[in-house]
A and B are shown apart, each in its own frame.
Chain A
């Protein structure tokens, strides 16, 4: 047997998976474009908040709202996760069995496919951002370089956390045929607490405090604020993200072991 350096081996597996999935995603460029466009909700809400901030008494100015929602749009593009539908299908159709034969945890296949898709999405997202600044030049800003790097790191973490949340929910597929309906319920919290509908500054203080202990604001609001340069508590944010990630990881490992014992490989 070839005694390979484990780090080298991991690198080889990762780069192979990523290049395969990147090529696969590029096949579906047209489909990707529509997925990008279907994330138009922040842009819609941007309009309504800009209009509201012109006359109403809100903590942010119209331009800040515009930048915030553009950042939300971008962050959301890079943290979209759909693993529960794929995992559910693999379990229901018994396709998970083939994945289990490989000496690699199936989570890495899903993670790589999501991660590679980000790069295929990149050009569309940038074109839309350029279009936005062309239409609304007042909102143009250049983030501070340190802030930008921090924001990028947090976006990656946010994506990992979102992925972990959904993957943990996917484990329900071992026990029920429609795990995705759980995600549809969970999505509501994501939608209303993450800062997609409005920055947390305009929330009532009680709701904001509660929301800040859930993982949701750190998926959108936290990275978006870093990107725009609005004040946030970086230390607390990173700690809460870390806490939830560790907790969810432990839960996922536990459910995964239990679930595999339950799994019967239907249809395969």
Chain B
């Protein structure tokens, strides 16, 4: 365990040092985050400006969902996209061999090898938005703490789904953009689930668990989450994490190395 911790620190220190070579990019990334934030707020405002409200979600409550979404975007830009989108290249070029030879869990190596600071602004803005809206609603401190739990489950779920889709490239090298489909569907997390018609709600809860990523954490922070949904989120996160690891082991059996 300690060894993994040590390796992780080395990975991230090098990755950060490499990325900081492109400082202008940080400026552009921040500008993009600000622009994205303004656009997201505008998109939500379009619904509320005529006096329409999503059932049981006033403006501030809907802001918390949007904050969750922004947080999730930051998380995936920082940790998921730079690593998991690279799996395909390893498989295409046969460099996965070198990863497999290392005396360390290959899933760990592939998932944590690099980190990109460009998602940091989104992480920050998401957190600020949640705390701002939460304070206006008078959310108690322990609710924020309790909210960390489903947020963590959400991160695990998203990671596991993304990793499994990435791992599918062992069979189908050219389908790396299947993760883009997932990203497209995640956009549904900008709004609370009740805003959707019934068919959409079922799809985004049971087929692609977007509801668990933003709506359920927001409800927990608002103090109206139910133990049932929270437990469901925990079970689902645990199951998906296990499935991602099992799936990777299974997929590796079919890996035939591209270069040799």
**A residues neighboring B (CB under 8 Å):** 28, 30-31, 34-35, 37-41, 44, 47-48, 50-52, 55-58, 176-178, 181-182, 184-185, 188-189, 191-192, 197-198, 202-204, 207
Contacts and interface: CB of A to CB of B under 8 A. Distances in A.
Contact of A30 (B25, B42, B175, B200): B175
At the interface, is chain B mostly helix, strand, loop or mixed?
A: helix
A48 B195 CA distance: 6
Given A56-B52, A188-B39, A41 B184 contact: yes
B36 interface: yes
A181 B35 CA distance: 13
Nearest to B22: A178
B174 to A, nearest CB: 5
Interface of B: 22, 24-25, 28-29, 31-32, 35-36, 38-39, 42-43, 46-47, 49-52, 172, 174-175, 177-178, 180-181, 183-185, 187-188, 191, 195-197, 199-200
A192 B174 contact: no
Contact of B31 (A28, A51, A185): A185
Contact of B184 (A38, A181, A188): A38
A40 B185 contact: yes
A176 B28 CA distance: 13
Contact of A37 (B172, B184, B200): B184
Contacts of A55: 52
A28 B52 contact: no
Given A38-B180, A38-B183, A198 B50 contact: no
Contact of B196 (A28, A48, A58): A48
A39 B187 CA distance: 11
Contacts of A184: 28, 32
Contact of A198 (B29, B35, B43, B196): B43
A185 B185 contact: no
Contact of B172 (A30, A38, A185): A30
A258 to B, nearest CB: 20
A35 B178 CA distance: 8
A202 B188 contact: no
12 contacts: A34-B181, A44-B188, A48-B200, A51-B195, A56-B50, A177-B22, A185-B35, A188-B36, A189-B35, A192-B39, A198-B43, A203-B46
Nearest to B40: A192
B22 A28 contact: no
**Nearest 8 CB-CB pairs, A to B?**
A56-B52, A192-B39, A38-B180, A47-B200, A188-B35, A38-B184, A40-B184, A34-B177
Nearest to A40: B184
Nearest to B49: A204
Contacts of B36: 188
